[in-house]
């Protein structure tokens, strides 16, 4: 597996554990991830370099975020514009839904669910 992809997957897992406040100590986190404690600290440093507000809370025995953030990496579909939504729905959908962005997001989710 590509090293970059492996690092991204580890960061995603750390992010999930931080959100759950379930990282445990750095040593415990290393065990959960199957990596060394040094690697944990390197990944946490990378996350901090990407502006993650991570601190270690001794009372919780867990890394936590000081404020609500979200980690995303990868490609996402764009919101559809009005013309694209009309061409897909034949113009009827927009008239029934006044919130265009909601309609657009629903369409993207629907398309993603059927696309293979």
| DSSP per residue, 17-51 | HHHTT---SHHHHHHHHTS-HHHHHHHHHHHHHTT
59 and 11 housed in the same domain: yes
CATH classification at residue 52: 1.10.10.10
What pLDDT does 71 receive? Answer: 87
For residue 17, tell me if it sits in a domain: yes
Label residue 111 by pLDDT band (50, 70, 90).
low
For residue 75, tell me if it sits in a domain: no
10 and 59 housed in the same domain: yes
For residue 91, tell me if it sits in a domain: yes
For residue 40, tell me if it sits in a domain: yes
pLDDT tens for 30-80 read 999 999 999 999 999 999 999 999 999 999 999 999 999 988 887 767 777
pLDDT tens for 3-44 read 888 999 999 999 999 999 999 999 999 999 999 999 999 999
The pTM (predicted TM-score) of the whole model is 0.64
Q: How far apart are CA 22 and CA 61, in angstroms?
A: 8
Label residue 116 by pLDDT band (50, 70, 90).
very low
Q: How far apart are CA 110 and CA 104, in angstroms?
A: 10
CA 44 to chain centre: 16
52 and 96 housed in the same domain: no
SS3 79: coil
Does the pLDDT value for residue 97 go beyond 50? Answer: no
9 and 57 housed in the same domain: yes
61 and 87 housed in the same domain: no
17 and 57 housed in the same domain: yes
Q: How far apart are CA 96 and CA 98, in angstroms?
A: 6
Angle between helices 3-19 and 37-49 (to 10 degrees): 80
What pLDDT does 103 receive? Answer: 54
Supply the range of the domain harboring residue 95: 82-114
How many domains does the chain fold into?
Answer: 2
């Amino acid at each position: 597996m590509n090293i970059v992809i492996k690092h991204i997957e580890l960061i995603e897992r750390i992010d999930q554990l931080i959100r759950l406040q379930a990282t445990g100590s750095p040593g415990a986190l290393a065990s959960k991830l199957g990596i060394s404690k040094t690697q944990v600290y390197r990944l946490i440093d990378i996350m901090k370099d990407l502006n993650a507000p991570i601190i270690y809370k001794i009372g919780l025995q867990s890394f936590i975020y000081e404020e609500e953030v979200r980690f995303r990496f990868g490609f996402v579909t764009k919101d559809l514009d009005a013309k694209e939504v009309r061409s897909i729905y034949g113009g009827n959908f927009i008239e029934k839904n006044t919130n265009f962005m909601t309609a657009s997001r629903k369409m993207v989710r629907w398309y993603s669910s059927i696309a293979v």
